């Protein structure tokens, strides 16, 4: 017997009785009207702080990216400039001992 057929064979019953839900048991929900006042500001003025925050975040991200580029350039000028070309490109391994 398939699982779907097993579920179909189980009789359904209402724990609250056959008469539930009836009109006398259910209350109508009343929701008050919400009146939103019209905004006095123009959208460009209203979103100006948001635009400023977004621009500051973008500028901070760009400065962070630039600082890593500056470090890479400093590291290359300071340490990698004196290494042979093959060692800078990770093409040649440096020998651990001299072969005689």
pLDDT in tens, the chain (100 residues): 677 778 777 777 777 777 776 666 677 788 899 898 888 888 888 899 999 999 999 999 999 988 888 888 888 888 877 777 666 666 666 666 665 5
Let me know if residue 23 belongs to a domain: no
Q: How many domains does the chain have?
A: 1
- Work out the number of other CB atoms within 10 angstroms of the CB of residue 88: 14
Let me know if residue 83 belongs to a domain: yes
Centroid of chain to Cα 53: 18
Let me know if residue 80 belongs to a domain: yes
Instruction: Give residue 72's pLDDT.
Output: 87
Let me know if residue 20 belongs to a domain: no
Instruction: Give residue 61's pLDDT.
Output: 94
Let me know if residue 82 belongs to a domain: yes
Q: pTM of this prediction?
A: 0.40
Domain boundaries, position 76 = 62-92
């Amino acid at each position: 017997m398939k699982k779907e057929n097993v579920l179909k064979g189980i009789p359904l019953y209402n724990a609250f009785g056959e008469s539930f839900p009836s009109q006398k048991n259910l209350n109508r929900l009343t929701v008050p009207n919400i009146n939103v006042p019209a905004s006095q500001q123009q959208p460009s003025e209203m979103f100006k702080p948001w635009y400023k925050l977004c621009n500051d975040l973008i500028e901070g991200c760009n400065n962070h990216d630039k600082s890593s580029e500056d470090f890479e350039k400093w590291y290359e000028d300071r340490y990698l400039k004196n290494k042979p070309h093959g060692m800078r490109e990770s093409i040649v391994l440096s020998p651990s001992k001299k072969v005689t």
